[in-house]
Amino acid sequence: MSKELIRLHDLCMAFDDELVLDHINLYINDSEFLTLLGPSGCGKTTTLRIIGGFTTPTGGDVTFDGVRINDVPPHKRQINTVFQKYALFPHLDVFENVAFGLRIAKIPAPEIEQRVMEMLEVVSLKGFERRRVDQLSGGQQQRVAIARALVNRPKVLLLDEPLGALDLRLRKDMQIELKRIQQQMGITFIYVTHDQEEALTMSDTVVVMDKGRIQQIGTPEDIYNEPKNAFVADFIGESNILNGTMVRDGVVRMYRREFPCVDGGFAPNEPVDVVIRPEDIDIVPVEQGQLVGTVTNVTFKGMQYDIIVDLGGFKWLIQTTDHSPVGAQVGVKIDPDGFHIMKKSEYSGLFGDYSSYSEEYEELADVSALEEEESGDEE
């Protein structure tokens, strides 16, 4: 329906022999909200910078409206960017920050005035024109950055982890705000984040990246429900990933038992990765369970309990609204559509075990802290 606007063709990028982007192929449609999602160092920011024109790829092409733009400098592209830490000009006030691009383009002053005020209206910053940018809160700065980019009426807006520095509450509000602005302006947003929830909430299309490669492209639902490999399954939401064998279409074997499932198309007895989302598992009395295990850990999460159940040495995460005490023997039941079967990949066996549950959460926190630091040093 909507036409293709940007295409990345066999894009490669290397810094000092280290391959950062490995043959990226991607097309982006007009008016689409596309998110590049992945852990830090996966190449998502580099991809964005290449589209913005700040970095020249070492291989491959970038086309915009069918024209190759590899060597077009940033100021000649109809693309604007919202930078990670906003990159507002501290020596200019809010108005002048927003007007910057228009002044460079030598737009007549009355028009500048009008467009800037319009845009400040859009981002709900009217009345702040003469504030110095360092007197604004994080959310306000964020909106100035967006206004500054949008006032130039770009065809594409690039956003590099724009919400990373905001607190949770503000982030939620801004997610909605951003989506609204995108729909109101009707332009393409390319959004970079490492936050899967953000990606799922806002995007039309999600591109999951890792190690410089695209792991999966799809709608948020596809990505969540039909992850292509263990990495995607683990990165998007919580997953228990187990080794299994596809006995035949509709039957998967694990724990020396056969379970009915809805997937098919594998060779007979092909070893596979089996993904089971924690919310797809029911805890039932022992006698009704397909499998039996022992509860080793229970955490109250408000909406549900996170329960860790030891099933034959493999620890499962189960999310349920019913409480089970630690040490209890419980039965586990999974509906056929709760199983998602994936081909074996390089990520097999790396994810999906919750045996070190609590530590893992801490680790995650560490990683995100680390990421922030890294992204600061990166450039």
Partner 1 sequence: MSKRTSNRFGDSLLMGLVFLFLYAPIFILIIFSFNAGTSSSVWRGFSLHWYNELLHNRLILTSVYTTLMVSLLATLIATVAGTFAAIGFYSMRRSRRDTLMTVNNIPMMNADIVTGVSLCLLFVVFFNGWEHFAVWINSVQSAVTLPTRLSLGFGTMLIAHVCFNIPYVILAVGPKLRQMDRNLIDAAQDLGCTWMQAFWKVVIPEIKPGIVSGALTAFTMSVDDFIISYFTAGSSTSTLAMTIYGMTKKRVSPQINAVSTLLFVTVLVLLAIINIRESHQEKRAVRGTVSRPKAFKKPGRAVIILRRVAAGALACVLAVVLIVTGKAANARPVVNVCSWGEYIDEDLIAEFEETTGIAVNYQTVESNEALYSLIEMGGADFDVIVPSDYMIARLIDEGLLAELDYGNIPNYELIDAAYKGLNYDPDNKYTVPYAWGTLGIIYNTTMVDGEITSWDAMFDPQYAGQVLMINNSRDALAAALLDLGYSINTTDETELRAAFGRLREAKDAGVYQAFVMDQVFQKMEGGNAAIAMYYAGDYLTMLENNEDLAFVVPDEGSNWFVDAMCVLKTAQHKQEAEAWINFIASTTSSLANMDYIWYASPNGEALEQYGDYYFELYEEELDEELFAIMAPPVEVLDRCEIYENLPVDTLALYNDLWNQLGI
Provide the binding-site residues for partner 1, judged by CB under 8 A: 49, 52-54, 73-75, 79-81, 83-85, 87-91, 100-101, 104-105, 127-132, 135, 148-149, 152, 379
In the complex with partner 1, the residue whose CB is nearer, 93 or 204, is 93
> Tokens 């086309």 label which residue?
63
In the complex with partner 1, the residue whose CB is nearer, 28 or 107, is 107
* Closest CB 369 distance from partner 1, rounded Å: 20
In the complex with partner 1, the residue whose CB is nearer, 194 or 340, is 194
Please provide the DSSP assignment of 98-155 as one string: HHHHHHHTT--HHHHHHHHHHHHHHTT-TT-TTSBGGGS-HHHHHHHHHHHHHTT--S
* Closest CB 144 distance from partner 1, rounded Å: 12
In the complex with partner 1, the residue whose CB is nearer, 148 or 194, is 148
* Closest CB 75 distance from partner 1, rounded Å: 5
Neighbours of 212 (CB within 10 A): 23
Which spans in the chain are helix H? 44-52, 94-104, 109-122, 138-150, 168-185, 196-202, 220-225, 230-235, 357-378
* Closest CB 149 distance from partner 1, rounded Å: 7
CA dist., res. 154 & res. 30, Å (int):
12
Please provide the DSSP assignment of 149-200 as one string: HHTT--SEEEEESTTTTS-HHHHHHHHHHHHHHHHHHT-EEEEEES-HHHHH
**Residues near 275 by Cβ (< 8 Å), separated by ≥ 6?**
227, 230, 233, 239, 240, 241, 339, 340, 341, 342, 352
Q: Which helix (H) or strand (E) holds 260?
A: strand 257-260
* Closest CB 95 distance from partner 1, rounded Å: 10
* Closest CB 194 distance from partner 1, rounded Å: 18
* Closest CB 74 distance from partner 1, rounded Å: 4
Sign of CA dihedral 200, 203, 204, 209: negative
In the complex with partner 1, the residue whose CB is nearer, 88 or 274, is 88
In the complex with partner 1, the residue whose CB is nearer, 52 or 227, is 52
Encoded tokens for 60: 């491959």
In the complex with partner 1, the residue whose CB is nearer, 13 or 318, is 13
* Closest CB 80 distance from partner 1, rounded Å: 6
Encoded tokens for 5: 């606007």
In the complex with partner 1, the residue whose CB is nearer, 69 or 307, is 69
**Pairing of β 291-300 and β 305-311:** antiparallel
